[in-house]
C-alpha cells in the first residue's frame, strides 16, 4: 500500500466518524425538543376521603348543595329557583359502622309548608323540599348523600341529582304537576293540596320523576 493511499483511508475514516457523531448529536437534540413540546400529564383529582369524612370531590361543586344534606328549593316564577340549606353536611362518622345495615346518621329538620319529595316509599329516606310557584327540572337539583366504598369507607357524595330518584311525596298548601321528563314533558300527574302518596305505576312510575310544577301547571 502506498503512503498516499494510506493517508486517504485515514482521512475517509475521520470523515465517517465525524459524520456519525454529528448525526447522533442532531438525533438527541430532536428527541429532547419533541419531549419538551408534549403537554405535561394532568393531575387527577384525589379520590381519598378527607379528614372531615367528606369526599374531596364535593369541594368542586358550587352552591350550597355541595355541603347540604337537605335542601329547600324556592320556585320564583319565571326567575331561576333559589336554594336554602336546612341541614348541613354531616361530620365524619364515628365508631364502627356495619356498612350493610347502618349508614352515618344526620340531623333532621322540618321543611314546613312545602312540597316534599322522598327517595323511598312512604315518605322515608332522603328528602328535598319545594315552595313558591313555578317550574323546576330535578336534573338541576343536587342530591348529596353518604356513599359506601368497600371495604369500610363512607364518603359524602354530591355528584348526583334528584332526577329519576323520587319514590314518594307529600304536599301542604301546594298543588301542581309531576312529569316523567324534563321541561314538563312526558306522562304527567296532577297533585292537590294536603295530598301524599307513592309514585308506583301509572302515570308516574317509581324513580322516573324528572320535573315538577307548583301553581298553575299544564
Q: Is residue 43 part of a domain?
A: no
92 and 26 both lie in a single domain: no
Average pLDDT score over residue span 172-187: 97
Identify whether residues 154 and 205 lie together within a single domain.
yes
51-90 per-position pLDDT tens digit: 323 222 222 223 446 678 889 999 999 999 999 988 877 6
Cα end-to-end span (Å), the chain: 107
Q: Are 117 and 165 in contact (CB under 8 A)?
A: no
CA distances from 116 to 83, 119, 150 (A): 14, 10, 32
* 205 pLDDT above the threshold of 90: yes
Taking a C-beta distance cutoff of 8 angstroms, is the pair 47, 57 a contact?
yes
Question: Which residue stretches of 119-168 are H helix?
Answer: none
**pLDDT > 80? residue 216:** yes
Is 50 a member of any domain? no
- For the record, the C-alpha cell of 151 comes out as 371495604
Q: Which domain holds residue 7?
A: 1-32
Q: Please give the average per-residue pLDDT across 168-197, as a whole number.
A: 97
Residue 171 — very low, low, confident or very high, per pLDDT cuts 50/70/90?
very high
Quote the CA–CA distance of 57 and 149 in Å, as a whole number: 14
pLDDT at 55: 29
Q: How many independent structural domains does the chain possess? A: 2
207 domain residue, yes or no: yes
Asked if the structure places residue 103 within a domain, the reply is yes
Q: Are residues 126 and 83 in the same domain?
A: yes
* Residue that is written with C-alpha cell 376521603 in the block: 49
Q: What is the pTM of this model?
A: 0.64
Residue 46 falls inside a structural domain: no
Same domain, 76 and 8: no
As to burial, measured by CB atoms within 10 angstroms (0-12 exposed, 13-18 middle, 19+ buried), residue 88 is middle
Give percent of the chain with pLDDT exceeding 90: 44
Q: Do 6 and 66 share a domain, yes or no? A: no
Considering the domain architecture, whether residues 12 and 100 belong to the same structural domain is answered as no
Beta bridge partners of 148: 154
What was the pLDDT predicted at 141? 94
Structure confidence by residue, pLDDT tens digits, 93-131: 544 334 434 455 544 567 899 999 999 999 998 999 999
Same domain, 131 and 198: yes
The secondary structure of the chain, three-state, reads CCHHHHHHHHHHHHHHHHHHHHHHHHHHHHHHHHHHHCCCCCCCCCCCECCCCCEHHHHHCCCHHHHEEEEEEEEEECEEEEEEEEEECCCCCCCCCCCCCCCCCCCCCCCCCCEEEEEECCCEEEEEEEEEEEEEEHHHCEEEEEEEECCCEEEEEEEEECCCCCCEEECCCCCEEEECCHHHCCCEEEECCCCEEECCCCCCCCCCCCEEEECCCC
> How high is the pLDDT of residue 10?
56
Verify that 206 and 161 share a domain, yes or no. yes
Say what the pLDDT of residue 19 is.
Answer: 52
30 or 211, greater pLDDT: 211
Higher pLDDT, 11 or 98: 11
pLDDT, position 68: 83
Let me know whether 85 and 156 are in one domain: yes
Picking from 4-18, 145-159, 172-186, 204-218, which range would have the lowest pLDDT averaged per residue?
A: 4-18
Residue 45 inside a domain? The answer is: no
pLDDT of residue 105: 53
Q: Once rounded to an integer, what is the mean pLDDT over residues 125-151?
A: 91
Mean of the per-residue pLDDT values for the chain? 73
Amino acid at each position: 500500500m502506498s503512503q498516499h493511499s494510506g493517508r486517504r483511508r485515514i482521512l475517509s475514516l475521520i470523515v465517517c466518524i465525524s459524520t456519525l457523531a454529528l448525526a447522533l448529536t442532531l438525533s438527541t437534540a430532536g428527541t429532547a425538543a419533541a419531549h419538551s413540546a408534549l403537554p405535561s400529564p394532568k393531575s387527577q383529582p384525589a379520590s381519598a376521603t378527607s379528614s372531615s369524612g367528606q369526599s374531596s370531590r364535593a369541594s368542586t361543586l358550587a352552591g350550597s348543595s355541595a355541603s347540604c344534606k337537605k335542601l329547600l328549593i324556592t320556585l320564583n316564577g319565571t326567575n331561576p329557583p333559589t336554594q336554602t340549606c336546612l341541614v348541613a353536611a354531616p361530620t365524619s362518622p364515628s365508631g364502627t359502622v356495619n356498612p350493610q345495615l347502618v349508614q352515618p346518621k344526620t340531623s333532621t329538620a322540618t321543611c314546613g309548608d312545602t312540597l316534599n319529595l322522598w327517595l323511598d316509599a312512604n315518605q322515608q329516606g332522603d328528602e328535598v323540599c319545594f315552595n313558591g310557584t313555578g317550574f323546576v327540572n330535578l336534573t338541576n337539583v343536587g342530591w348529596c348523600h353518604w356513599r359506601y366504598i368497600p371495604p369500610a369507607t363512607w364518603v359524602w357524595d354530591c355528584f348526583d341529582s334528584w332526577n329519576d330518584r323520587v319514590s314518594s311525596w307529600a304536599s301542604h298548601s301546594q298543588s301542581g304537576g309531576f312529569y316523567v321528563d324534563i321541561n314538563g314533558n312526558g306522562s304527567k300527574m296532577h297533585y292537590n293540596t294536603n295530598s301524599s302518596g307513592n309514585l308506583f305505576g301509572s302515570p308516574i312510575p317509581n324513580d322516573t320523576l324528572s320535573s315538577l310544577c307548583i301553581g298553575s301547571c299544564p
